[in-house]
Structure 1
Amino acid sequence: MSFLKLTVAYDGTGYAGWQIQPASPTIQGALAQAWLRITGEEPNFSASGRTDAGVHAEAQIVGVETQSTLSPWRLRKGLNAVLPEDIVVRLVEPAPTGFHATYDALRKTYRYQLHDGPAPPLFDRRYVWWWRAGRLDDLQMGQGGERFVGRHDFVSLQSLGSDRSTTVRTISNLSVTRTGDRLDITVTGDGFLYNMVRTIAGTLVEVGRGSKPPEWIAEVLAARDRSAAGPTAPAEGLVLASVEYQTA
């Protein structure tokens, strides 16, 4: 037996999220079918994050234990030959014995993508939230985002439906950058609650449109109440960008 680490990218538009669900197409389900076709094995995958319906990934990390003797290069080639065109295995590499993509992750980076131009986006329309109500103030959003950095109880940013032993997380970096009509909110942390990044995005939009000042973010965190934060931003703007692991 050997352990492998897969780096997988996908367009989540047509899927009900990562995790297998009955009667719904999922990323895990498509990858499992492809793995069975190439190796003859029914895999038990671990994933760095269970992305929700409509959420995308540039570098979802997947761990798997296998008896296959195919080389990583041949596994990647074979999987990409049978996977749907909106899922790509970017890399297959050996992993340490016992590797678990969920529990061994140190930090994850998500990027939330907005478009605030006067005309709707075209080529990236499935990957951004089009804010139709006028130009957002990215400088104010960046100042608000600085208040999220550090170790906090993020219960105000968690949607209902998740059972976690603690809602305390550490955000090590949050930036808001503009390129033309495109705004990217990039967040790195040691873990994220259910819909946390999408709620951070929706909350910062409240600042960007002038409804709230940057200092309001501190009040949101202190309230420990979901109703104190902004709306949950749409799923299509969210991308799992990268995952960090301990290097040997």
Structure 2
Amino acid sequence: MRSVRNLLLTLRYDGSNYHGWQIQQNAVTVQQVFQEALAKILGECPDVKGCSRTDSFVHALEFCVSFKTEHTIPCERLIGALNHFLPEDIAAISCREVPLDFHARYSCIGKEYVYRIWNCRTRDPFLRGRALHYWYPLDLEKLNRAAACFLGKHDFTSFCAVDAREPGNMERTVTKAVWSREGNMVEFTVAADGFLYHMVRIMVGTMLRVAQGKLQPEDISRILLACDRSAAGPTAPPQGLFLKQVFYRDVKRDA
């Protein structure tokens, strides 16, 4: 009798053609395409657990999934087979066996996102769908003062889409929130023990209001305390957002 294996796979994908990770009716998602490729290899449809849902058109530099199977295919061969069947905008980059109680979502202790802004008067067609084109001046010193207000443990109700709130704890602990620039590319990087629906995009949209002078950096603290979505700024477009890293305790992603 074959023993059950629990496999942890790391994917990378361009989300431009997908309505997020999670399977939906009447919409193509990354999970759907991934599971179709996996079924062709294993001859079965295992219960795939994703580390996050990700919004429509959001990208992932590192996205982790786990599933259990009795199939004996070696990890290296599975990566090669998946990349044969997956479309060019999704790639499997690593695979390893993990303990049976490991869960890609519930074993996660944190994630890091990056939001990219092309800060130039002229657009770059090669960045279409991969960065927000924003041509107004961005004062990074001012933006970083605003970002620092997010650090620590806060109730992020003001930074969660209203129609997506579920009863539960809205507190999250942010361990990193920093703006950086390289030439015309400006990036906001944020890490936390978890994220609410649209949280990063609302953070970015609100800080762009700071850049425009419509809010002051210190207003971020007031908005957090308000616990009111209407107190924050708009939701930034999804195309500039990338899931950058997923953190697990005592689990490596390479084979």
> In the alignment, which residue of structure 1 is the partner of 2:47?
44
After TM superposition, the runs of 4+ consecutive aligned structure 1 residues lying more than 2 A away are: none
> In the alignment, which residue of structure 2 is the partner of 1:125?
128
Instruction: Tell me if the contact between 1:137 and 1:209 (Cα under 8 Å) persists in the aligned partners.
Output: no
> In the alignment, which residue of structure 1 is the partner of 2:236?
233
TM-score norm. by structure 1 comes to 0.97
The answer as to 2:14 corresponding to 1:14 is no
Within 5 Å, give how 1:190-229 maps onto structure 2.
190-229=193-232
Instruction: Tell me if the contact between 1:58 and 1:239 (Cα under 8 Å) persists in the aligned partners.
Output: yes
Q: What SS is found at the alignment partner of 1:13?
A: helix
| Whole-Å separation in 1 of the counterparts to 2:97 and 2:167 | 31
Gaps in structure 2 of 5+ consecutive residues:
none
| Whole-Å separation in 2 of the counterparts to 1:182 and 1:164 | 38
Q: What SS is found at the alignment partner of 2:162?
A: coil
**Post-superposition offset of 1:67:** 1.1
**Post-superposition offset of 1:164:** 4.3
> In the alignment, which residue of structure 1 is the partner of 2:155?
153
Q: What SS is found at the alignment partner of 1:123?
A: helix
Equivalent residue pairs, number: 247
Within 5 Å, give how 1:1-248 maps onto structure 2.
1-132=4-135, 134-162=136-164, 163-247=166-250
| Whole-Å separation in 2 of the counterparts to 1:99 and 1:124 | 36
TM-score norm. by structure 2 comes to 0.95
| Whole-Å separation in 2 of the counterparts to 1:243 and 1:24 | 26
Gaps in structure 1 of 5+ consecutive residues:
none
Percent identity of equivalent pairs: 38
Cα distance change, pair 190–230 in 1 and its aligned pair in 2 (3 A): same
Instruction: Name the aligned partner's letter for residue 155 of structure 2.
Output: D
| Whole-Å separation in 2 of the counterparts to 1:202 and 1:208 | 10
Cα distance per residue 1:100-152 (max 9 Å; x no partner)? 111000010011111120001222221111113x1111111111000000000
